[in-house]
Structure 1
Amino acid sequence: MSVALRYAARSHIGLGTKSRNEDSAYAGPELLVLCDGMGGHAAGDVASSLVVGELVHLDGESHGADDMLDVLEGAIMDANDRLSEVAHESTDADGMGTTCIAMMRSGDKLAVANIGDSRAYLRRGSRVTQITRDHSFVQQLLDEGRIGPEEAAHHPQRSLVTRVLTGRGEDHPDLSMRELRAGDRILICSDGLTDYVAESTVADILRSEGSAGDIADQLVAIALRGATRDNITVVVADAVNSGDAPTNPQVVGAVSDLRRGEAGKAAGGSPAEKAAALSRHTQEEPEAPALAEEDGHRGALRWVRRGTIAIIVLVVVGAGGWASWAWSQQQYFVGVDDGQVAIFRGVSQDLGPWALSRPETTTDLALADLPTYYQGRVEASLSADNRSDADSIVSELRALVALDCTPVPVQPGQERTTTAAPTLPLPDSANPTAEPGAPGPPQSALPRGCPP
């Protein structure tokens, strides 16, 4: 029997020091997407918005179960290529990236794509199952039996991710197919929920009675009660009998500010028309609707360029005054000072002959001791929310130096692509696209915010 989705999307900036929401999410009749952007000086909100904007056209398109995975993967790889284009357009966008979970429905079939440490859960009856596998350093430790679930929940390196969309050719998502049944409930969420709320608590809420909107509100509220420092974004979707579901898409997070006004114009149209309207506004400037008929890629580049220039102008021009100088001296990043990893106060930019940062603490960790692909990221600077966050980044770099990064041979057929990073073997369960017992892809640990 064919089913439909009754859905709700919610997002909150969280209680930490982040000044903007870097999560973006979309929920529609045939498409669910959630992206958690990697930020700092890099444009995490731009990355998540851009990927969502590149995928919304899938909502309302007609695809059969046979080609859904190929279509979904192709759309994600196109979005990844767009990230690369934007990063080359602006140095401020270099290093940006985003996790991505995307689900496309056709009848009672659900194509699932996942990359990063955002998660998807399925409630069927009273059983709640995580249906995606985290691409994270802590997940590797769990898979190898080096730590247990309790230790993983509080591990100091739980912010290390191994794979996200960064614009590189090897950024491939995991893919799987699911069968939906009436009564199923789906949750996709960013780590602002799962890093601060116990998985058992999330499962209890998913089992409780209430609409998709009620459940989404409860999940955000309990994350806030847990004092989450990260952005929180959730999409909840209930599988119901066909014809008993909404058709108006919901958009939340960073991307939502870009589509206000246009979605209302399509309120009476088909899901495809609404998705197209959203796509135009996620790719172009909302204050210039006349550009909607232009090429979407050029419009997206124009929006990113102008948004980036606006940020640069605000920072650089304001730096000539005392207020901006005071602000800059409250910023921190990790970089290199005379060959050593150092914590800098200020912003990693210069204003003509004047440097806007200075090393505050030079550590005893030599840049040369880091793996090669981390050296370049440290040289480019790793932004931090505050001094404590900068100390945490240094601790994570020390932990990476202590890792045994000796490459391990990979069995033929384990991975479609290879990376230049050293690899650690994963157990069979690391690949959510395979049946139990099938081999999984190798991965390498990577700090959030500094992709390979």
Structure 2
Amino acid sequence: MSIALRYAARSDIGLGRYVNNQDSGYAGPHLLVVADGMGGHAGGDVASSLAVGQLAALDGEALSSSEGQTRLAQVLRRTNVALQDRVREDPDLAGMGTTVTALLRAGSRLILAHIGDSRAYLLRQGELVQVTADHTYVQSLVDAGRITAEEAENHPQRNVVMRVLTGEHGDEPDLSVREGRPGDRWLLCSDGLSGFVSHDTLHDTLAAGDPPAQTAENLVRLALRGGGQDNITVVVADVVDLDDPPSTAPQVVGAAAARTRGGPAAAAAADSPAQRAASLTRQADADDEDDDDTPLGRRWVFWAVVAVLVAGLAGSVWAAWTWSQQQYFVGVAQAQDGTEVVAVYRGLPQDLGPLRLSSVVEVTDIPLEQLPVYQRGPVSEGITASGLDDARSRAEGLRLPAPQSTSATGTGTTGTTGTGTTAATAAPEPTGGASAPGSGR
């Protein structure tokens, strides 16, 4: 039986600390993708955009099931090489990476590729199943029977991702072939949705019967209502018989849309899959020109303070200063022996000329050099928190579990997803209690 897809994609920056969207999403007649970038402002959006741009070339190809598996694997390997090349061209992007969850239609089959902690769900005959398995440290504990799925939801290391695309050798996604049945509904999403909306609520929303576009918008609203501290990207697709009208216009959302010259309409209007891919990736060539604007966006608070100073509004300046001293973040300080360690700060991560806007509250014994490479950049830049307790929790959450003789096996690529997620070698569940760090991606 021949099948087609009726789909919609939506993305939102969320309510957290982000000033740009590091997620990217794509939905086309043959291809669905969600990619969650990591590496902080230096490269998360670049990585996810690059992945979507590479994969978009597959949309429109008429492939058999075996051809689909081969082509999808080839493009993902090419994507990984492209990430490596991009870092080589611009060392400031070192440490960037991205999750990828992609669904490629090949005849009556669907080829699923997955790496990281973005997810794919399938609603079939009223039952919602999480099809992908998170490549996280906590999931490895669940798989080993050491903790329950309920305990995993509040585990201090629940954001530790062990496999993502980083440009390093061995970054291999999982590939599987799925049957495409008319009546099925697929959900691909970043953890900005799955981390804030319960499984039962996902089920009820997907099963409500609303069209894909309305369903995707409802899911984004639910994530925002649930706290929305992360970027949120959602792709909803219904499998339909060819007799039913399918969707035909590609949709590009998130960082990939922002980095496309002309926006999402430019990519959607391209005449061929190759042109769409080119429109999604050509912005990378102009990054050096556009980067001059990026710091302004990230430092709007400081420019606002500068404007107030220039205007001579002393009362507003004092209010801004008072506000800044009620903020907290996790950063880097120098220990007494001269080593750089993780510390909790009061204030703002950047300084305003000679005016220092932060002070150390607590210094931990966590050496910066022992953190996974993906985590060092965000910590050095400052991971903002909602308060002192949250900052302490986030700092403690950076501490990797100590090796034990009964350690869990398996290693993974080191990295953080856009939420401050860290990747590490799998290790036994840590002893002692640390409150769960907030999502930092």
TM-score by length of 1: 0.76
Give the aligned partner of residue 129 of structure 2: 129
Q: Is the 8 A contact 1:37 1:96 kept in 2?
A: yes
1:314 Cα offset (Å): 7.5
Structure 1's 182 and 225: CA in aligned 2 closer, same or farther, altered over 3 A?
same
1:210 Cα offset (Å): 2.0
Superposition pairs of residues 104-123 of structure 1, within 5 angstroms: 104-123=104-123
Give the aligned partner of residue 323 of structure 1: 306
Give the aligned partner of residue 54 of structure 1: 54
- Provide the C-alpha distance between the structure 2 equivalents of 1:205 and 1:387, rounded to a whole number of angstroms: 29
- Provide the C-alpha distance between the structure 1 equivalents of 2:242 and 2:298, rounded to a whole number of angstroms: 51
Moved more, 154-163 or 43-52: 154-163
Moved more, 12-21 or 355-364: 355-364
Superposition pairs of residues 375-390 of structure 1, within 5 angstroms: 377=376, 381=380, 383-386=382-385, 388=387, 390=391
Give the aligned partner of residue 251 of structure 2: 250
Give the aligned partner of residue 280 of structure 2: 282
Match of 2:332 among 317, 323, 335: 335
1:448 Cα offset (Å): 8.5
3-state SS of paired residue (2:291): helix
- Provide the C-alpha distance between the structure 1 equivalents of 2:409 and 2:220, rounded to a whole number of angstroms: 43
Moved more, 371-380 or 216-225: 371-380
Percent identity of paired positions between Structure 1 and Structure 2: 42
Q: Is the 8 A contact 2:216 2:236 kept in 1?
A: yes
Superposition pairs of residues 288-303 of structure 1, within 5 angstroms: 300=284, 302-303=285-286
- Name the aligned partner's letter for residue 144 of structure 1: A
- Provide the C-alpha distance between the structure 2 equivalents of 1:394 and 1:418, rounded to a whole number of angstroms: 21
Give the aligned partner of residue 159 of structure 2: 159
Structure 1's 53 and 132: CA in aligned 2 closer, same or farther, altered over 3 A?
same
Q: What is the aligned residue count?
A: 403
- Provide the C-alpha distance between the structure 1 equivalents of 2:81 and 2:296, rounded to a whole number of angstroms: 27
Give the aligned partner of residue 435 of structure 2: none
**Structure 1: unaligned runs, 5 residues or longer:** 286-299, 427-446
3-state SS of paired residue (2:128): strand
- Provide the C-alpha distance between the structure 1 equivalents of 2:227 and 2:439, rounded to a whole number of angstroms: 20
- Provide the C-alpha distance between the structure 2 equivalents of 1:5 and 1:16, rounded to a whole number of angstroms: 33
**Structure 2: unaligned runs, 5 residues or longer:** 310-319, 415-422, 430-437
Give the aligned partner of residue 95 of structure 2: 95
Q: Deviations over 1:235-292 (max 9, x none)?
A: 00101012521210011111112336476578777xxx2433332222124xxxxxxx
TM-score by length of 2: 0.78
Give the aligned partner of residue 188 of structure 1: 188
Q: Is the 8 A contact 1:90 1:308 kept in 2?
A: no
- Provide the C-alpha distance between the structure 1 equivalents of 2:173 and 2:157, rounded to a whole number of angstroms: 22
Does 2:375 align with 1:392?
A: no
- Provide the C-alpha distance between the structure 1 equivalents of 2:251 and 2:274, rounded to a whole number of angstroms: 13
- Name the aligned partner's letter for residue 290 of structure 2: G
3-state SS of paired residue (1:66): helix
- Provide the C-alpha distance between the structure 1 equivalents of 2:371 and 2:383, rounded to a whole number of angstroms: 21
- Name the aligned partner's letter for residue 129 of structure 1: V
1:200 Cα offset (Å): 1.3
Q: Is the 8 A contact 2:6 2:239 kept in 1?
A: yes
Give the aligned partner of residue 198 of structure 1: 198
Give the aligned partner of residue 294 of structure 1: none
